[in-house]
Amino acid sequence: MKATIDGIYRFGKDFATLSMVPKYKIYDEKIIRKGKDEYRVWDPKKSKLGAALRMGLKETGLFEGAKVLYLGIANGTTASHISDIVGPRGVIYGVEFSPRSIRDLLLVAKRRTNIMPILSDARIPQRFASRVEKVNVVYQDIAQKDQSAIFIRNAETFLKKGGIAMIAIKARSIDVTENPKKIFAQEKQKLQAKFNIITDIKLGHFEVDHAFFVCKLK
């Protein structure tokens, strides 16, 4: 079967990844079997990257063998699909601040050996810089007021020249009283100071008050 986007397959309206670990689910996702292959359907209500795909995302920068820095990896739902895409030759450096989430992630990483859990604070990349090499993709999903600043700091530290950086921005984590459209415009302006923005998508009913940006460093 031919991928619609690198490592991502289309089944009607659904997107899916070819499972690197057949017969093993992460979050009770739907499975589609084609011969010996097993495809894991990407639930857009449980993954902001999955939601962005459903809302029209065409470029992720992900490919087989890619190196990825994932900031705010949580328990590995989205990361499991990225793990399928980058495959055994790729690697995901997963930074997470919550010890409980890291415990869950460690269970995922036992089977998905291309996921490297890192218990640390994404706001301070110096704390984990010795454990992370230069990467092809930076992906961030962090509910912090200064999420754009964290994203810029890490991209400038770890992203290879020509690499792709993706961020899911949660308006309510920045200001619960302000109009989300105004917040997205303000955050976009911050990003444009350092990045060329390739894609700007609102995640609609899948993730209310969220925007998704795909960028390249200037």
The answer, yes or no, to whether residue 134 has pLDDT greater than 90, is yes
Read off the DSSP letter of residue 8: B
Whether pLDDT at 3 is above 90: no
User: What DSSP state is assigned to residue 33?
Assistant: E
**DSSP per-residue string spanning 183-196:** HHHHHHHHHHTTEE
Q: For residues 212 and 57, what is the distance between their CA atoms, to the nearest angstrom? A: 9
Would you say 179 and 211 are in contact if contact means Cβ atoms under 8 Å apart?
A: no
pLDDT (tens digit per residue) in 143-159: 899 999 999 999 999 99
Per-residue pLDDT tens for 84-95? 999 999 999 999
Q: Is the confidence at residue 204, as pLDDT, over 90?
A: no
Counts of helices then strands in the chain (DSSP H, E): 6, 11
Per-residue pLDDT tens digits for 50-67? 999 999 999 999 999 999
Q: What mean pLDDT is reported for the chain?
A: 95
Identify which of 142, 135, 196, 150 has the alpha carbon closest to the alpha carbon of residue 169.
Answer: 142
Strands 195-202, 115-119: pairing kind: unpaired
Section 156-178 average pLDDT: 94
Q: What pLDDT sits at residue 2?
A: 66
The token duo for 124 is 């301070």
pLDDT in tens, 21-38: 999 999 999 999 999 999
Q: Residue 60 gets which letter from DSSP?
A: -
The CA distance from 157 to 152, in Å, is 9
pLDDT number for residue 216: 98
Boundaries of every domain in the chain: 43-217
d(C-alpha 136, C-alpha 77), whole Å: 20
So what CATH class is 43-217? alpha beta
Question: Does the predicted model carry a pTM greater than 0.85?
Answer: yes
Closest CA to 207 of 35, 43, 31, 3: 43
